[in-house]
Amino acid sequence: MSNQNSSPLKILYAASEAQPLIKTGGLADVAGSLPGALKHFGHDIRVVLPAYPQAVERAIPIKQVASLKIAGSTHPVRILEGTLDGKVPLYLVDAPDFFNRPGNPYVDTHGNDWGDNPERFALFCRTIVSIALNHADLHWQPDIVHCNDWQTGLVAPLLAMEWNRPATVFTIHNLAYQGVYNHTTFERLRLPGSFWSVEGLEFHSNFSFIKGGIAFSDWVTTVSPTYAKEILTAEYGYGFEGLLQHRKERLSGILNGIDYAVWDPASDSALPQAYDANTFSLKRLNKVALQRELGLPEDENTFLLGHIGRLVEQKGVDMILDIIPGLVNQKNVQLVMLGTGDAQLEQRLRNAAAKHPERVAAYIGYDENLAHRIEAGCDCFIMPSRFEPCGLNQLYSLRYGAVPVVNQTGGLADTVIDASSKNLLNGIATGFSFDEPSADALWRCMERTFELRNRPSIWWEKLATTGMKQDFSWDASAEHYIDVYHMAMDNPAINPLKTA
Ligand code: ADP
Ligand code: GLC
C-alpha cells in the first residue's frame, strides 16, 4: 500500500523527548526524525513536547502562542511555538511547576523518579487533548494524534469521550515502562470515574497510563515486526499480552528508521576521520584516536569491541561483564563501554576498567559525540539485549562498519543478518547473532567473531561494508505510518467503555 498521492494529513505528534532538544534514549531519536520524514512527504505535522528547560533553550526562536486553563494546574499553561531543528513546527507545553526543573524528563539529579510524574504527564496529556480538539487557540485541528509511550497514554481515553475527536495512533517503544500508579493517585488526577474499570485503565488493582494508549487508540503500533509478535506472548507482554491479542487486528510493527544526516561516517563532524564503504580502511584512524581519547594503548590492529546504552537489565550489560575474563585472555582485544544507569552495573564497569586498564575503558555518563566516535572506532558492537523493541545502536553500528553482535530478539532479529557460512558466501551477512540471552551464548558468538577476524582481512571488510550499504532511512517506514494513519481514520475504534 502506498499513499504518496493521497492528500496531506494534519498530524499532531506527541512525545516526552525528541532530539536535538532533549534525549534519554531511542524514543528521542525517533521523535526527532520521523516527523521530518513525514513532513518531507508533504504532511502538516506538528510536534508537541513538555517545555523542559533544555528544550526551551534549543527550540529558538520561540514565542508564546496560547495560554490555557488545564485541569490539574493552578496556573495557566502556556503553549510556546518553535521548531524542531529548524524544520518541523513544535509546540512546547509550558507549565513551569511541572517541567522547569533540573535532571532529566523522568528522574531527578539523583536518578529517582519525580514523585509527581503522574501529575506531570496527566497535564501533558490533557494539554495534547486540548490542542487535538482545537480548543487551544491555535486555529488548527489535526486529523491524527500520534502518541508515543506511557507518558502520552491518557490522550486516547480522554479523546474517546469526545464526539469530534481526531483519529488516534499509539506507538509502543518499550512495553516494560508502563506508568503504573495506585488508586489514590487515580483519584488525585481527577480522571473520569468510568476509567477505573477492567475495560478502562485498571491494571491489577492499580491503573496504567500505557493501558490507555493500548486499549483506546484507533491503531497501535510498535517499532519492529518481531517485537509486534513477541508482545503477544506472556514472556514479552508484561501483562498486556491478553489485551494486545484482543487488539491484534489493529496492531502493526513498523521498523524504526535512522537519520543519516546525523549518523553517517562520511559527514559526521564528531569524527576525527571521515570514511564510507569505499574508504573503509580509513576507519582505523578513528580507532587509534578513540584508544587515545579513552587512555587505551594505541594499536590499529587491536580488535576493538564496543557498547553504548542505558545500563539497565534489558540491555544485557551483565553478560558483557561476565565475558570480560575470556576477552582479556584473547590476544589484542580491547573493550570500550559508554553508559549510565543502574549504580551496581556502573560500579562493575568501573571495576573492570580498573582491573584491566590496558584492555577495558569505561566511560560512565552520557556523551552524544563520544557515542558517534565509539561507533566509528570499533570493529564490533556488542548488543546482547534480553529484549529490544527495535534498537537503534545496531543500525548506527551497521552504517559505521562496527559489525553488530546481537541477541536475536525484536528489532535486532529484523535488522542483522547472521554471518553463517552460507550468508557469508552469498554476500548478505551483516553481523553475528545468537539465540539465547546468556553469557555462554554470547561467548560462543564472540568466538565466531575471533575466527572471522583471523581470516584474510577481505572477509571482515566484506561483512562490515555489506552492513554499511544497508538502507535503514525513514522513507519506507514513514510510508507505513501514513498507511496506518489512514487505517485509523477509516476505522475508528469503539470506545471499550461503551462495549462493557
Ligand atoms: P533505548 O531507546 O532502549 O535506550 P536504542 O538503541 O533505541 O535504545 O537507542 C539508544 C540511543 O541512546 C542511541 O542513540 C544511543 O547512542 C543513545 N545512548 C544511550 N546511552 C548513551 C550514553 N551513555 N551516551 C550517549 N548516547 C547514549
Ligand atoms: C525504546 C526501545 C528501543 C527502541 C526505542 C525507539 O526505548 O528500548 O528498542 O529502539 O525505544 O523506538
- 449-486 per-position pLDDT tens digit: 999 999 999 999 999 999 999 999 999 999 999 999 99
- 102-159 per-position pLDDT tens digit: 889 999 888 889 999 999 999 999 999 999 999 999 999 999 999 999 999 999 999 9
Which of 268, 310, 374 is the best mutation target for the ligand 1 pocket, counting ligand atoms within 8 Å of the beta carbon and taking the most? 310
Residue 26 is inside which H or E element, if any? helix 26-40
CA of 36 to the centre of ligand 1 (A): 20
Nearest-CA residue for atom 7 of ligand 2: 26
Q: How many C-alpha atoms does 331 have within 13 Å on its Cβ side? A: 4
For residue 262, the ligand closest to its alpha carbon is: 1
What is the pLDDT, as a whole number, of residue 51?
97
For residue 389, the ligand closest to its alpha carbon is: 2
Phi-psi region of 341 (alpha: psi -120 to 50; beta: other; left: phi over 0): left
Contact 335, 306 (CB under 8 A): yes
CATH number of 10-257+475-499: 3.40.50.2000
Beta strands at 77-84 and 88-94: parallel, antiparallel or unpaired? antiparallel
Prior bond of 20 cis (ω within 30°): yes
Q: What is the 3-state secondary structure (H, E, C) of 335-361?
A: EEEEEEECHHHHHHHHHHHHHCCCCEE
Instruction: Return d(Cα 174, Cα 30) in angstroms, integer.
Output: 13
For residue 25, the ligand closest to its alpha carbon is: 1
Instruction: Give CA torsion, residues 290, 296, 297, 299, to 10 deg.
Output: -30
Same fold, 10-257+475-499 and 277-471: yes
What is the pLDDT, as a whole number, of residue 125?
98
- The structural domains of the chain, with segments of one domain joined by +, span 10-257+475-499, 277-471
Query: Looking at the DSSP assignment, which residues form a beta bridge with residue 362?
Result: 337
Closest CA to 80 of 138, 30, 153, 157: 138
Least confident of 72-81, 406-415, 453-462: 72-81
CA of 392 to the centre of ligand 2 (A): 7
Q: Would you tell me how many other CB atoms lie within 10 Å of the CB of residue 321?
A: 18
Instruction: Return d(Cα 78, Cα 136) in angstroms, integer.
Output: 10
With a pLDDT cut of 70, the percent of the chain lying above it is 99
To the nearest whole number, what is the mean pLDDT of the chain? Answer: 96
Amino acid identity for residue 214 in this structure:
I
For residue 19, the ligand closest to its alpha carbon is: 1
For residue 375, the ligand closest to its alpha carbon is: 1
Distances (CA, A) of 437 to 316, 344, 352, 354: 8, 20, 21, 27
Instruction: Return d(Cα 387, Cα 379) in angstroms, integer.
Output: 23
Contact 309, 363 (CB under 8 A): no
Which residue in this structure is represented by grid cell 498530524? 11
Give the nearest ligand 2 atom to 173 CA.
11
Nearest-CA residue for atom 1 of ligand 2: 173
Query: Which residues lie with the beta carbon below 6 Å from any ligand 2 atom?
Result: 25-27, 30, 173-174, 223, 256, 388-392, 411
* 329: exposed, middle or buried (Cβ count in 10 Å: 0-12, 13-18, 19+): exposed
pLDDT surpasses 50 at 20: yes
Give the nearest ligand 1 atom to 27 CA.
2
pLDDT-derived band of residue 500, with 50, 70 and 90 as boundaries?
Answer: low
CA of 71 to the centre of ligand 2 (A): 31
Nearest-CA residue for atom 19 of ligand 1: 309
Angle between helices 317-329 and 343-355 (to 10 degrees): 10
**Grid cell for residue 387:** 529484549
Give the nearest ligand 1 atom to 315 CA.
3
277-471: CATH class: alpha beta
Instruction: Return d(Cα 343, Cα 333) in angstroms, integer.
Output: 26
CA of 391 to the centre of ligand 1 (A): 9
Distances (CA, A) of 242 to 189, 232, 387, 493: 27, 7, 19, 18
What is the pLDDT, as a whole number, of residue 7?
86
**Grid cell for residue 451:** 575466527
pLDDT-derived band of residue 432, with 50, 70 and 90 as boundaries?
Answer: very high
Instruction: Return d(Cα 254, Cα 221) in angstroms, integer.
Output: 7
**Grid cell for residue 463:** 561483512
Query: Which residues lie with the beta carbon below 6 Å from any ligand 1 atom?
Result: 25-27, 29, 308-310, 338-340, 366-368, 371, 390-393
Angle between helices 393-400 and 368-377 (to 10 degrees): 50
Nearest-CA residue for atom 10 of ligand 2: 391
CA of 83 to the centre of ligand 2 (A): 24
